[in-house]
Amino acid sequence: MEKGYTIPSLQRGIRIVEAILGEESGLSALELEEQLGIPKTTIFRILHTLQNESWLEKHGERYLAGHRFIQTGLQALSGMELRRVSIPFLDKLSKETGETTHLGIWAGKQVMVAEVCDGPKHIRIACRAGTLTPAHCSSLGKVLLAGMVGSENLKAFFMGETLEKRTPNTITDLDELAAELVKVVAQGYAVDDREYYEDVRCLASPVHNAFGSVIAALGITATTLSFKEGMIPNIAAKVTEIAKEVSQALGAH
């Protein structure tokens, strides 16, 4: 490619994005300046533009990938192994429970619904594919927080953020949420007991990759009339088993 056809500012933007995506905890503007040798004013202009367009998110002094990166990549996700493998299992779980099933993946500090399989009932209460949901008050989010962040790292992860109280049952205290995550790890599944919507109960279990790491959460969404509290053990057994089958299909032992 001839140099005359390149755009220097775009090249710098790409280098900044690549550097940020290469660090799990993100980078600060000062670290980017030292690492890339790009002038401070140029870095700030590029960072501000990318943040304003939601391609980057700023947490404290550090910049992380924004949700638009994940949303834009959702279309590409259709060809990836995780989504391809999970679809028949979501369908199986939906038929076994009669409820809507979904697959959730990490998106910054939120959860993205990557795939949805509607149940046979006419009520459609689950979020659509591509939807971002808070991690602290969803069963998918609790599974990902427990498996990918850990109860001991919760306060550092949220960095003093205020957790939204969506219903009277939403857990907004970090110590209480940490105790909830310990429970999630111990039992192998998480429950959203009317914490995101008042009349909705959800349950999710982790999906692991071939290395044993949690990479997604698989679960069901149902009304409290359909999914009663006493049904949790039975539903948990079904969801956990299907999540294990997805993990095994991905190479997990």
Domain boundary among 44, 65, 86: 65
Residue 195 has pLDDT above 90, yes or no: yes
**What pLDDT, in 10s, does the model give residues 9-68?**
888 988 998 898 888 788 999 999 999 999 999 999 999 999 888 889 888 899 988 877
SS3 per residue for the chain: CCHHHCCHHHHHHHHHHHHHHCCCCCEEHHHHHHHHCCCHHHHHHHHHHHHHCCCEEEECCEEEECHHHHHHHHHHHCCCHHHHHHHHHHHHHHHHHCCEEEEEEEECCEEEEEEEECCCCCCCCCCCCCCEEECCCCHHHHHHHHHHHCHHHHHHHHCCCCCCCCCCCCCCCHHHHHHHHHHHHHHCCEEEECCCCCCEEEEEEEEECCCCCEEEEEEEEEECCCCCHHHHHHHHHHHHHHHHHHHHHCCCC
Q: What is the reported pLDDT for 75?
A: 46
Mean pLDDT for 211-236 is 93
Residue 29 structural domain: 3-65
Domain containing residue 108: CATH number: 3.30.450.40
Domain containing residue 34: CATH number: 1.10.10.10
**What pLDDT, in 10s, does the model give residues 89-116?**
999 999 999 999 999 998 878 898 889 9
Model's pTM, two decimal places?
A: 0.69
Same domain for 8 and 79, yes or no, is no
Same domain for 118 and 218, yes or no, is yes
Same domain for 166 and 210, yes or no, is yes
Same domain for 38 and 109, yes or no, is no
**What pLDDT, in 10s, does the model give residues 128-155?**
777 888 999 999 999 999 999 999 989 8
